[in-house]
Structure 1
């Protein structure tokens, strides 16, 4: 039977519609990858992602790589402004969805057909054969090799070791062995398999190198460095205003990236630190604590390091104010436990507890003002107030950041220290005043605080035998330490 062109066209249209209906029926939760265009064409696609709208060499970089020729894609939240005259064949992929536009351009992975992809920084110039050399290094490297870097310009890349400590929200850099790195310092082209790039949760987050290195380390991917370099374009000096804009944008992007990656502290190879968590002017990093179990414990993490830093600073300030006023105080509860165990705050604790003699409260003007009923901010920005839950007091890191030290007023009755507010915690019990006669100094959180004279007996009275040697989360009924 002879098929006419009209019949063939009709059959093709019906088949296409059936395929679209099948993809729609599969839906987002039913493995839509089977409906995507097949990937795996030999070659390398160049992705241009790291550039500034107001000062770039995007056209020159795109033109250089398009001449090889290789597919070149420019990925950006929106079209650059001022507009950039991209060479013929170079496509722009807007990453930010627009309500009145179809969604596919929000998924650049659908537009990369080649097996490999190179993330090329702005101002790079192509070298014939170098992308292929990087690809061969990737494919012939050890089994864990998933990423290859090549320098841009005359300065060699510096290999860095990168260790991630997700539980304490920290990335730690060190000097790596030559040729085998976890990250590199310097401007670089990065090449990897297309399927690997787009399995990452943040494949095109900026700054691109940092985002890729952190996600690669979390997956145990190996990184190889090739010494051959791509030339850098000769560009006029950046104006002071554009330099300022670029620095501010880079800082905001890095902060956003670290928030998304769950990193609040970077320790650099030279020992310097970068902090990305809460501060005096921000809210704290976690919300209201329920059942003595903060949300970060349920997520398998400990107290964010910025919060521990703020707690240490607040504790030091409060202790200094109490000592200057002659208020008798001592480390209480989990804070004494941390001092006895570590000389510091327990790594998963979310506040600091101090006991005070109730009769001494009037000696400290900030405490006396809080007792009068109104929150009061002291000269260094710490907020003193009466707790809403009962007859005790809190000193907050600031009005915005509610990390705090709790002050528990005790008074002696028949040789036993008692108080008027009990919150039902297992360790919230009376104790003999003899533990405070005398009080003794103890290292805590980077300074010296006063503590009961027999910390072990005091803690075992409150927490049970072996409390110092057997750490546990605040509420084991909700989450136990060994369940991480």
Structure 2
């Protein structure tokens, strides 16, 4: 009996070992195939997107890339308008040049058409004047990116200064972008600052609504943040410090032009406030889209509801700031004239609940006594005609009822 039990035990153990070996072999083969798929050699294209007409190194950059990586590497140039003077590059050295701006004498190319023309797995945006160390480090970069699982893009420094990784948050509803100190983890970043090349998959670029908007790096990272994508600062040196402008005056021209491009970017992406958080207690805000000379922050108002509320957004922050400044001015005028005044309606509710304007407010409601109107020369003047006071605020009286309206801007109607 004991002999039979031992025999059965040995047979069971032998069977178990065979099954275990089969399972282990299958697992290792699966891992091998997965590793092979990761290590499959990816194709890549080079895109030069940003350069200046008045001072550039595009032709030498193209020549250098082909010299280091090989003439077979596709290079594309994407530009807003036809460059003048024309770039000194033959069609034999680049795969294609794409002009984005509308011109009457030619068909405007679309983002999709550009992406369809790029057949490679990867795209690397190379800044004008960049120089690659050698082909070996570049190939290692491609292999490392192929193994990356959590980052949508690699950033590679192309200048002496390193890259910085501040946090970026975009609140579409509030029209606001906030940039803070580094808050990433394990090298993954929301936004990467500095002179850089960017490596990403062609498929990733095709998912963005505006893949070619400049300034390119900020534009790409803003679109990444909306999708909660992360990027990675690749620390091995792939590029040597790039060639900058030859003419010293070009640097000042570039700063001026870049500021205009950044303003245009914020307006295109509907960002009206950019907050730079220095620390937990200090921050600086820059406003875009509202000043005394611009049109109002929104278009039509139907049934007393501005169009942005229909689109699920709150009052633009620059408009809220204008409301605050206007109401403070009116309070000061009334106080100096001994006109008794108080908040009413939604304005009173906001003051009581959050000690501020309600984020979707479009007006500040102030109540006064009718017998105090003669005390205030602004109200007396407004009873006869609209006028602009010494601080540039427009006062007017409603056509019906005892209502007065004060506006901060001549062009605004808030």
**Global fold match (TM > 0.5):** yes
Deviations 1:63-101 (A, max 9, x none): 222221221111012221122212542232112243333
| Distance (whole Å) between structure 2 residues aligned to residue 118 and residue 161 of structure 1 | 23
Match of 1:324 among 336, 341, 344: 336
1:277–1:304 contact (8 Å) kept in structure 2 = no
| Distance (whole Å) between structure 2 residues aligned to residue 97 and residue 41 of structure 1 | 38
Which shifted more, 65-74 or 209-218? 65-74
Name the SS for the 1:272 alignment partner. strand
| Distance (whole Å) between structure 2 residues aligned to residue 186 and residue 388 of structure 1 | 56
Pair 1:89-2:93 in alignment: yes
Mapping for residues 34-433 of structure 1, pairs under 5 Å = 42-67=42-67, 68-69=69-70, 70-86=73-89, 88-90=92-94, 91-104=96-109, 107-127=113-133, 128-142=135-149, 144-176=150-182, 177=184, 179-229=187-237, 230-235=239-244, 238-240=247-249, 242-270=250-278, 271-372=283-384, 374-403=385-414
| Distance (whole Å) between structure 1 residues aligned to residue 261 and residue 399 of structure 2 | 39
Name the SS for the 1:268 alignment partner. strand
Name the SS for the 1:145 alignment partner. coil
Name the SS for the 2:382 alignment partner. helix
Name the SS for the 1:287 alignment partner. coil
Change (3 A) 1:352 1:103: closer
| Distance (whole Å) between structure 1 residues aligned to residue 401 and residue 62 of structure 2 | 66
What is the match of residue 5 of structure 2? none
Report the CA distance between 1:263 and its aligned residue. 1.1
Higher helix share: 2
Change (3 A) 1:385 1:118: same
Which shifted more, 346-355 or 218-227? 218-227
Report the CA distance between 1:267 and its aligned residue. 1.5
Deviations 1:362-387 (A, max 9, x none): 21111111111x21111111111112
Report the CA distance between 1:228 and its aligned residue. 2.3
TM-score, normalised relative to structure 2: 0.82
Report the CA distance between 1:340 and its aligned residue. 0.3
Cα RMSD over matched residues?
A: 2.1
1:134–1:148 contact (8 Å) kept in structure 2 = no
2:100–2:108 contact (8 Å) kept in structure 1 = no
| Distance (whole Å) between structure 2 residues aligned to residue 248 and residue 323 of structure 1 | 44
Report the number of matched residues: 361
Change (3 A) 1:260 1:131: farther
Structure 1 residue runs without a partner (length 5+):
1-39, 404-484
Deviations 1:210-243 (A, max 9, x none): 1100101111212111112312334455443x34
Deviations 1:17-41 (A, max 9, x none): xxxxxxxxxxxxxxxxxxxxxxx99
1:370–1:376 contact (8 Å) kept in structure 2 = yes
Name the SS for the 2:210 alignment partner. coil
